[in-house]
């Protein structure tokens, strides 16, 4: 988990013990749990964090933010590809996956 005010630390509570990992990069933003990993955005890059019991939190670089990509709240990204806007999870390959979104869909709003 991540606590507000701790922009450089990730925590895991396992069997009553709190384990933390200090992040040496810039402030952790746009954090989201997807599957058994935590994905976050920092300094125009997307990272993945996993817990390896009993006491190791691993943080690995996943990819750079693409030029025309928006990193949204709730672990989603969006970008225009071949004239169509696609929305996909931070963990997905932006060139292969995504749900096409029609800009005229009623009630649909993508916010940063």
> Residue 81: pLDDT band by 50, 70, 90 thresholds?
confident
Q: Residue 46's closest CA among 21, 18, 22, 77?
A: 77
**Segment 21-69, tens digit of pLDDT:** 777 766 777 777 888 888 988 889 999 988 887 778 888 999 999 988 9
Tell me the pairing of strands 56-64 and 99-101. Answer: unpaired
- Number of Cβ within a 10 Å radius of residue 70: 16
CA distance 89 to 110: 13
């Amino acid at each position: 988990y991540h606590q507000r005010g701790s922009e450089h630390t990730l925590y895991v509570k396992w069997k009553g013990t709190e384990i933390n990992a200090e992040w040496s990069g810039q402030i952790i933003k746009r954090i989201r749990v997807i599957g058994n990993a935590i994905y976050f955005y920092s300094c125009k890059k997307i990272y993945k964090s996993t817990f390896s019991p009993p006491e190791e939190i691993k943080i690995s670089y996943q990819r750079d933010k693409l030029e025309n990509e928006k990193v949204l709240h709730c672990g989603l990204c969006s970008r225009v590809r071949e004239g169509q806007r696609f929305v996909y999870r931070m963990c997905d390959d932006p060139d292969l996956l995504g749900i096409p979104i029609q800009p005229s869909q009623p009630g649909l709003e993508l916010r940063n």
